[in-house]
Structure 1
Amino acid sequence: MTLLVAVLAAAPLAAQQEQQRVVRGLSFEGNHAIDDYTLRAAIATTNSSAFATKWYLRWIRFLGEKRYFNELEFRRDVVRLLLLYRQSGYMNAVIDTLVRREGRDAYIKFRIYEGDPVRLAELHVLGLDSILDVQRLQRDLPLHVGDPFNRALFQASADTIVSRLKNLGYPYADILRNYDVDVAALRAVATLEALPGPRMRVGQVLITGAEKVDTGTVRRMLSVRAGDWFRQDQLYLTQRDLYGLGM
């Protein structure tokens, strides 16, 4: 029984010793489409502070935060980077790694082979012909035809359209998103179909809970007036102004 306990205890101890390696260096190689800052933010492995990485400062032991190498999270980081690249349109990206272990120190490098991106070949914006200038709107969207098909920018484009509609009197505006990706041809076709809903005006404006501020003062601060077309940005502006009054 004693022997069994000793054997079982050895594995966690070995794992603990492995995790005690300090990350002294973390770098990326081959990335052009995505900067180092964004890549660092996407992974769990982090570099130690300057006091813990610069050899001429390490002797000051009480300064600088040390970050320890975790093998499991490191493997997951490869998947995280692959997902980030694929969401950015780089479906053929490959992530290689190099870990140099020196005693209790670890130096990590991610080697990235981005490959050619899937590019947006067509972007169809539907449901807005009688409300907005679609061609002008498309120029204002974060994602354009010819760009790498970045799904985050595709979502941001949808949000931009909804925001425009809500500032034109459509409080219940929504949008349908659809896209088709041909990885072999490096080509994507996307559609944004707006569902504006009814255009509405502001009805009665009610003021409640203004115990410390005169109601007339509050009304003068309002950017929203009864009878105006609903505008989400004016509602946010009113909220900000009221916060300024301490409400």
Structure 2
Amino acid sequence: MNRFSKAFLVAGCALSTSIVARNLPAQDLRCDPGDVEVRRLSFAGNTAFSDAELASAVVTTPSGWARRFLRLPTAVKYCLDRAELPNDRIRLIVFYRRRGFPDVTVDTVVNALSRNAVEVNFRIHEGRPITIAELTVTGLEKVENAIVFTRGLPVVAGARFDRVNVQAARDTITRRLRNAGYPQAQLDTPRPHVDAARYLAWDTLVVRPGPLTRLGGIAITATPFENNTRQISDRVVRRLLGLDPGRLYREDDLLNAQRRLYQTEAYQHVTLFPDSLSRNDSIVTLHAVLIENAMNAARLGAGYGTLDCFRVTGELSNYNFMKRAQRLDLTARVSKIGI
């Protein structure tokens, strides 16, 4: 096993530790007797990533700005968790190795600033990064205007071999395809070939777009509000959705249609989803599952002012005006009551 493979094996084993770290609290806010406050957190030797990026990858956190600079006793205070400090070193190593630095080393230094306060410094030697010698995207040969789906990806040949950016490239291509008529689009990433001696990597993104798909019918299931009868017809729902049969399937169109129904305030729940597809389906049926809301709402407010004395304001809203899911608001105000 070469040096690069060993480095990424360690990164893979420690990855779960890195992910869990972001869900953990930093230090105990209570700071038990004998604990020392983290007054400063610093990094040295980092050139590829900013201090802020590295600080987000570790658990150790300095006290709040107001406490560190203004010495406000009520401001947020964080104390040093010595059990987490070695884990923070591992988190930084994993962070760097996943982003193309297999030879990174990290040392931890705790400097006393006073009897009850310390500075935590991570000294980093990044080492030489792995460079992408070639990035190949296959599977788009039968897709029209294939260049559109691979333009401006966050990873290109000649860039650092960053696994986070490779995943972002996968997500970008998948999202673009699903917004261009390919709801079944998937990407596979075979294991990259890495030449550890030359610090070069060759990676491939294998695209499986599936068939070009258009919208078919829309099956609407609507539940009326409480014990009432249904108020909004299928015809009005289809008009609001704006998803005409025959148009290309686009995920963004479904999200926009869902948003339009919510904006009427006539529905308390809206779900849009495609029917299950086989690998050969080119027509998709959409399902709209709706739960209607109360179609009328009334609000009453009262107040007192030096000029108006007592005043009362009333509002009445109807969310299905003329049975078209349109909103009508009526407002009335009475003031100078008691004069």
TM category, shorter: 0.7 to 0.9
Matched residue, 1:167: 179
* CA deviation vs aligned residue, 1:60-115 (integer Å, no higher than 9, x gap): 32x21110101121110111111111111111111122211332211111111112
Matched residue, 2:219: 206
* CA deviation vs aligned residue, 1:188-226 (integer Å, no higher than 9, x gap): 110001111222221211222264763344322224222
Report the count of equivalent residues.
Answer: 227
Structure 1 length normalisation: TM-score?
A: 0.84
Large movers: runs of 4+ above 6 Å? none
Which has the higher mean CA deviation after the structures are superposed, 74-83 or 226-235?
226-235
Question: 2:174, 2:81 → 1: CA distance?
Answer: 42
**C-alpha deviation, 1:238, in angstroms:** 1.2
Q: 2:260 aligns with which of 224, 241, 244?
A: 241
Question: 2:116, 2:49 → 1: CA distance?
Answer: 31
Q: 2:109 aligns with which of 82, 98, 104?
A: 98
Matched residue, 1:66: 77
Identity over aligned pairs, percent: 36
Which has the higher mean CA deviation after the structures are superposed, 218-227 or 204-213?
204-213
Matched residue, 2:297: none
Q: What are the within-5 Å matches in structure 2 for residues 86-235 of structure 1?
A: 86-101=97-112, 102-135=114-147, 137-178=149-190, 179-209=192-222, 211=224, 214-215=232-233, 216-235=235-254
Task: Assess if the C-alpha contact under 8 Å between 2:178 and 2:185 holds in 1.
Answer: yes
Matched residue, 2:38: 23
Kindly report the root-mean-square deviation, in angstroms, between the aligned alpha carbons of the 2 structures.
1.9
Structure 2 length normalisation: TM-score?
A: 0.63
Look up the equivalent residue of 2:255 and give its one-letter code: Y
Which has the higher mean CA deviation after the structures are superposed, 164-173 or 185-194?
164-173
Question: 2:39, 2:180 → 1: CA distance?
Answer: 53
Larger of the two Rg values belongs to structure: 2
Which has the higher mean CA deviation after the structures are superposed, 78-87 or 124-133?
124-133
Look up the equivalent residue of 2:128 and give its one-letter code: D
Question: 2:128, 2:242 → 1: CA distance?
Answer: 49
Bigger share in helix: 1
* CA deviation vs aligned residue, 1:131-159 (integer Å, no higher than 9, x gap): 14445543321111111111111011111
Given the superposition, is the C-alpha separation of residues 185 and 135 from structure 1 closer, same or farther in structure 2, using an over 3 Å criterion?
A: farther
Question: 2:105, 2:147 → 1: CA distance?
Answer: 37
Look up the equivalent residue of 1:231 and give its one-letter code: R
Task: Assess if the C-alpha contact under 8 Å between 1:223 and 1:237 holds in 2.
Answer: no
Task: Assess if the C-alpha contact under 8 Å between 1:138 and 1:144 holds in 2.
Answer: no
**C-alpha deviation, 1:235, in angstroms:** 1.2
Look up the equivalent residue of 1:23 and give its one-letter code: V
Question: 2:242, 2:137 → 1: CA distance?
Answer: 31
Bigger share in strand: 2
Task: Assess if the C-alpha contact under 8 Å between 2:149 and 2:177 holds in 1.
Answer: no
Look up the equivalent residue of 1:29 and give its one-letter code: A
Look up the equivalent residue of 1:191 and give its one-letter code: T
